Amino acid sequence: MPSFAGVNHVALTVTDLERSTRFYADVLGLLPVLDLGHGRVLLDRRSGFSVGLLRHPGAEGGAFTELRTGLDHLGLTATDRDELVAWEHHLDSLGVDHSAITDTALGSHLNFRDPDGIALELQAPTAVYVALVHQLGSGEVPDDVLRDQAEALLGPGLVIRP
């Protein structure tokens, strides 16, 4: 089966291009690089990941909700929990409402929303999770062994077994 190398971009429908461009530039530090008229493209310098912001003619508008079929949230990676704390201070300094940092077996999470209510998450994975993902990507560890390791981390009943 063919594979892909990673996630290249995400495109989000927004109600106000100017407001959303400012948010993604000021809050997430993305660099606005393209103005397509009906949309903008912003780039993360470090990862190369890009976010497209689109305003479709005739779009229904309305508030975003993860309860509708489609996007639930956009998850971004933080280096570690200390970086999440720095993000928490950054969001506070800009007046962006956010959750408290939550710690789980897979990592720590910080959640907030963009001006259209699109759910955004910063996640700092645990070292164990990073190691599992690395093993998975290496192809050197059998799938059943990875599933056993995941089950040891998360508990029984959560890991999908064929």
Q: pLDDT tens for residues 69-103?
A: 788 999 999 999 999 999 999 999 999 999 999 99
DSSP annotation of 27: T
State the CATH number of the domain containing residue 18.
3.10.180.10
State pLDDT tens for residues 32-66. Answer: 999 999 999 999 999 999 999 999 888 777 778 88
Burial class (CB in 10 A: 0-12, 13-18, 19+), 45: exposed
Whether residue 2 lies inside any domain: the answer is: no
pLDDT confidence bin for 12, thresholds 50/70/90: very high
Whether residue 158 lies inside any domain: the answer is: no
Whether residue 90 lies inside any domain: the answer is: no
Whether residue 120 lies inside any domain: the answer is: no
pLDDT at 89: 98
Q: Where are the alpha helices (DSSP H) in the chain?
A: 17-26, 81-94, 127-138, 143-154
DSSP annotation of 73: -
Whether residue 35 lies inside any domain: the answer is: yes
Q: What is the extent of the structural domain holding 39? A: 8-57
Into how many domains does the chain fold? 1
112's torsion region: left (phi>0), alpha (psi -120 to 50) or beta? Answer: beta
pLDDT at 109: 97
* Residues 64/112, Cβ–Cβ less than 8 Å: no
What is the value of pTM for the model shown?
A: 0.89
Write down how long the chain is. 162
1 has pLDDT over 80: no
Whether residue 162 lies inside any domain: the answer is: no
- Paired with 12 in beta bridges are 53
What's the distance, CA 82 to chain centroid?
18
Whether residue 16 lies inside any domain: the answer is: yes
Residue type, 23: F
State pLDDT tens for residues 117-156. Answer: 999 999 999 998 898 888 888 888 888 888 888 888 888 8
- Token digits of residue 65: 């909700």
